[in-house]
Structure 1
Amino acid sequence: MRRLLYIEDDNEIGSWVARDLERRGYAVDWLKSGEGAPERAKEADLVILDVMLPGLDGFTIGQRLKKELPETPILMLSARTSVDDKLQGLQFADDYLTKPFHPDELAARLEVLLRRYGRTGSAELTLGHLTVVPGENRIVDSRTGDEIMLTGKQHQIFMYLLRHPNRILTKEQIYEAVWGEPYLEGDKTLMVHIRYLREKIEIDPGSPTIVETIRGIGYRVKL
């Protein structure tokens, strides 16, 4: 699963970009300033970096990151459209995208950079009797070799849990990440989808070992 470090201080822009990228199968680590970026970047396959940030600006942070982690691609985001700003960014960044942008264009540019740097994300995860290939959106029952076919929402729920391994995620977090709208207390939609998901991926859906229920809170996948 490809991990992105996303540095953006604007809450509105940051939340929709992070949500969109997570729906596309990325694990997104969102920071609102450059503080702690060098350490967090060590775990990332790619860095998305805004220019206008509190404290050190994106140009300064990007130059430091590229010096310390030359094999990690950097994509700059900026509302600045002047040639000088683009040239300054491209002295260290691998690509430069101006705001406003369409999420499909951002995703396409990310894929180009990830392929260029060999970060294809095809590494397999073993989860009990399941073999998961996040980069190919495939889930295989290793006992039989058969591919397990999930519906769109089942797949999004499972991948969202996998992007946050060992963390207890609330019903609200999962619902809002997958459906993109506020969770209403008492809504059984997520619970129904989890039940059908378990029928496909668990050996015994009545005693699940992959998607665990944390009573009164939500769900967790342990790796």
Structure 2
Amino acid sequence: MIGIRVFRATDDPDACQKYIDGHRRILEIHGVTKITSYKHDWLEDPHTMIILVEDKEQGRVLGGARLQLKRSGISLPIELALFKYDSKILDMVQEAELNGGTSELCGLWNSMEVAGMGIGSYILSRIGAAISSQLPITSIFVLCSPVTVRMGRRVGAVVERTLGNNGLFYYPKDDLIATAMILADCDTLVNADASERELIYDLRATPIQKRVERGPKGQFELNYDILIRRLDYNGVDKK
């Protein structure tokens, strides 16, 4: 049984380490050894939310992502990745933080075992948008690979064409292209596909549920528990 849960990084260090190890293996398979989102300062940041995909019976981590809030004085990975190419990213993030709070969806990966099921692109991106309603943010930045740009658009993110070369950067290697995108309207999702918006609203209304998902490789059952616990402390309550 595959399950997805969301928790603060500080609440489950063991699960975070499994997430890190799995992400590192996938990066190495693709020849990537240096990437800003692979810094681990978020491990001690209660404002970083982990989206974890697990084999519930065997306790194995099959994928995941982070929704990292711009809090606690920690730079977002997109700031660290892009400022040397285009310093406007710093002002853009600062403005978004002042205008309701912002974050970044980063560190997305899935194991080869679940490749082709839509987890690493479609479902993780959808959950990132869904859990934003529980957090003090109104926007989400994301640095997309070419294959995930389409999913970013599906959930309502748009290419930030004022950055780089019309939104494009050579990152994390000179032969790879990354696209800077932002979901600027987390509450309304006005730019999202209608079907995707409906799925996100359903997850917001019922964060604990079981659903049959359909990916390129067919149907599979997925247990969702995306209710973030322990948010009742200063500075993290939803505004």
Q: Fold match, TM over 0.5?
A: no
Q: Which has the higher contact order (CA 8 A, sep 6+)?
A: 2
* Structure ranking higher in helix proportion: 1
Higher strand share: 2
Question: Normalising to structure 2: TM-score of the pair?
Answer: 0.28
